[in-house]
Structure 1
Amino acid sequence: MRARIARRIPRWLFVRLRRLWLSLVPIAQCAAAAGLAWWVAADLLQHSRPFFAPIAAVVSLGLSLAKRWRRSVELIGGVLIGIFVGDLLISTIGSGAWQICVVVAVAMSIAVFLDGGLMIPIQAASSAVLIATLIPPGPGSLDRAVDALIGGGLGILVVAVAPVNPARRARRDAAAILHTLKNLSADLAVGLRTNDEDAIYRVLASARGTQASIEALRNDVAAGREVGRLSPLYWSSRDRLKRIAATADPIDNAVRNFRVITRRCLGVTQRGVTIEPAIVEIIDSMSSGFEMLRAMMMAEPGESPDQADAAREIRSIVRKARTSIADNVEDISETAVLVELRSLLVDMLMVAGLKRSSAIAQLHLNR
């Protein structure tokens, strides 16, 4: 039902709606943290114009789920540097164009000296500029520093109390990539059977377009691990997060190997050579292997298919990918395709939970 509705929505609108949907929880977290930070600083502590508190809360969280703890520390450090440098220098040298130059240079220099993070110098300079232009230095310096601490601290608190499910987004990312590989494997097999260069090229173009999905997977894995450390609600999910994180590199390698296979197949087809049917059969069988891995990724703990089910499915493909197939091929590039397919099967076995040494051993048993 959901898939049918998605197909009826224009692509440009679907992409934007999906982006908004994925950002709803981070947006809600930012909004809650900003309002809470203002309430604590203004109503509870009676600070005058405590805008550093909600700003710190929003910037420390942001829409990216990864490295929020690091962002909060960098932001708080940068704001504190900017406040103290701005107060000290502006109260001494006054305000004006050249004074802003001096304040920004000093604040950023201190920030860079203390830490190599990208956010600290920017926040230090921004805070120093605010002191130099809008907020006169004075006895409120300590309040401004406290406001920054309140905002950053409450941002982390909101993540811990109302976090994004740390496993859900990462496994959905992984499942989406595996689903793409399933479809591309089937399409590549069809293109090879019909010697359709255009179809194979389209598969290659689609495979090259998966890099953004790989980066999203890695970011969400990092975010999941961070939430698993910060939030007591998900401490019990750490082992599952660890298993999901272990699939990121094999999935990335699988995508890269698939691109190489498709590129070699395109070259062979362009030379007018027909790929050995046994090799095409392996590529076609990989489609069901990727589908099993996708289903494994989305299955809840204790449900089927699990890692053992997926490994059995892929072992059945490994048995087809014997090196003896190369005895029947005439073009050396076909042999290279077979070698790459066996390497891709190692990646698939690793996604199913096998260690690399065990996955390679499976191929050695099926020469």
Structure 2
Amino acid sequence: MSEENWDMYDYILESKDAVRSIVKHKDQILEKAVEYFFSKKINRMYIVGSGTSYHAGLAAQSVIEKILDIPIVVQYPMEFKDQEFLPDSDTLVVGISHAGRSTSTISALDKAREKGYATIAATAEKNKPILEHADCSVEIAIGPEYAGPKTKGYIGTVATLVLFALEIALKMNKITDAEYEKYVDEVLETTDQIPAIAEASVKWYEDNKQELIKSRRIIIVGYEQCKSALLEGTLKVLEAVRYSVTGYEMEEFMHGVYHSIDEDTYMLYIGCEGQYYDRMINMKNYFEKERGNKNFVITSDEGQVTNKNNLVYDFKNNHYFASLEYVVPFQVLARKLSLDLGIDCNVSSDPHFHKKMGSYTY
């Protein structure tokens, strides 16, 4: 697909094949980075990045900790750069920048090198500045994804980070061959659903379009394994519709934000299976009855299917990879709602913003 003909929705659908391609070519993609890992003594890992890169790190954090049995810290680059206390050694810093030009991620990698840490740059682009600021690199091999809200980038980065950890763990005998294959199969089972989830999301959107196009304030609430889907989904909708969209972890929302909910507030809930699901439904019911605002639940709970506001789909609900499926309805919402609002989210609101702000290195 040429740059002139691409569309955000097409890239959502391509995420499935992108992950399958990454798995198929994992040896070629990860070989140098895995060799580099074993050339160092690594007892902890920092994953640094902004926006989608940060959210992907959060999505992969728990499973990498489980697989490698070492602390994994996910931080914004400037938090890492400005942190006064950092461990003395035995640390790997993975800096993620899909465009390969993030000034803050480059600064974080420079700080890591000053500390004598091992450094890996992960990017979807070739021959970009970030590659000069790390000792090794990993390609996020998702294929083309031109300017606009990134979708393949998020899902492809999670898959790449998880496969990197699996390769290391297998060589260290921390997992068996069967466990390795089980994790890979779980990733593929989850991401193989993406086109079908997107199709269901389009139908859900069309059923609720006349209500959703009236919204000018959206709050997204989630919890547990879908915290990263919450943050990434919020960012996608915000980038596309370009009005007030905020996301909150559910307990954080309950500590004050609830005061601001009125009948003009639209709330979307990520209802993944887990220990907090019933608590979330209770909160949704409260707002419907006592505040009269608009509420929409994204879930696999068939008990919610009677309300057309809700998107009910047979999600896999994998403990580690649920964020890769629950993010899709928000990616679709971002594209469809912005289109109906007359906004072309494929086009940046200011193509020169990063040059003006110095947030990209050229």
Higher relative contact order (CA 8 A, sep 6+): 2
Instruction: Please state which structure has a larger fraction of its residues in helix.
Output: 1
Give the TM-score range, shorter chain. under 0.3
Instruction: Please state which structure has a larger fraction of its residues in strand.
Output: 2
